[in-house]
Amino acid sequence: MHFSGKSNIKLPCERFSVVYKLFGNEKEAYAKAKDICLEQTVEFPEELVPEGVIADHIVGRIEDFKSIAGGESYEAVISYPVDCAAGEFTQLLNVVFGNISIKTGIKVERLELPEKLLSIFKGPRFGIEGLRELLKVQDRPLLFTALKPMGLTNEELSELAYKFALGGIDIIKDDHGLSNQSFSPFDERVRLCSEAVARANRETGRHCIYMPNVTAPYSDALARAKRAKELGAGGLLISPGLAGLDTLKTIAEDDSIALPVISHPAFQGSYVLSNNGISHGVLFGQIARLAGADGTIYPNFGGRFSFSKEECQSIARMSTEEMGSLKPIFPCPAGGMSLQSIPESLAVYGKDVIFLVGGGLFRHGDDVVENSRYFRKLVEQ
């Protein structure tokens, strides 16, 4: 069959680039780069690609290819037409890492997106500056904790929330496993915890907020987000690996909700923990910002998970570096953090960070109010 290759694309066509890390010897890595160009666009045999617009502009283009890591892997910069993303978040992700996510030895290392593409994203509603203004905290790291363990009654969870807020914690979230279980119904939990935090704020004069978990099937997630606001929640927690990145984006951009949203990494670990996938900085930094998260939770180095200090630093860097008009967001290191780890983490992250300590707050002593006050003193020194 003959294809004319004619297209209604108006040339020249602006392009965006993705930096890929490719594993194998030079010949194997370059073959992967060429394969990516086809697989992520036309998904068509190279010898049959129509000449003209499709071959010259639609097919991905290798802009750079070089050896890295002492020749153990290679880096390819591949560009695509902005129009291939269709102005959609889902299609952008499809072009970046669609079919090739099913192939081996390919890792997305960085997104290089022009303003024409970035401008279609609203991005974080609050970001670092807006969240600081909401909490009335300008000159120190923010403090984050979680309501746990699963199985406590909603009355017990709300009492915990009150004590955390009384002790000076800035953000209190549901543990990500709390949903709408029979032992912890969503509406009741959100109402009680919101009221408890508001009561503590009246007593302390602070501006602590409670963030319920709204991770759920799409229709339920949106409904729960709206219901959470009605019940007095000050923000929302969502796991986009479970609910969908575009669900996070939809909730973050909904003006009828207009609450800060924090992204949780549940179900996303396999993306970053091998030679196949997406780098830590891209997934938890760049993509989280495109989706509209105001903060991004990830396992800190030295905790019970396997992220290295360098990987955590890459998340913090891509959470805050210039990305068009998108606001910088808070890195939220978590995952088994202890109070003893705060000084070292302060040296790594500086003040624009939210430290999430959950179980570690209970290990410090029996009085969670005093434990929270101690946590706060550690970041105020």
Residues designated catalytic: 148, 264
Residues 6+ apart with CB under 8 A from 104: 23, 275, 276
Q: Of the candidates 126, 129, 161, 156, which has an alpha carbon nearest to the alpha carbon of residue 145?
A: 161
**Residues in a beta bridge with 87:** none
DSSP string, 173-194: EE-TT-SS-TTS-HHHHHHHHH
The answer to whether residues 305 and 266 touch, using CB atoms and an 8 Å cutoff, is: no
Q: Of the candidates 276, 284, 270, 310, which has an alpha carbon nearest to the alpha carbon of residue 22?
A: 276
Strand 106-112 to strand 15-23: parallel, antiparallel, or no bridges (unpaired)?
antiparallel
User: How far is it, in rounded angstroms, from Cα 300 to Cα 349?
Assistant: 11
DSSP string, 14-62: -EEEEEEEEES-HHHHHHHHHHHHHHTTT-S-GGGSPTTHIIIIIS-EE
- Tell me phi and psi for residue 110, to 5 degrees: -170, 145
Please identify which residue in the block is written with the tokens 């939220």.
332
CB atoms within 10 A of CB 134: 18
CB atoms within 10 A of CB 194: 22
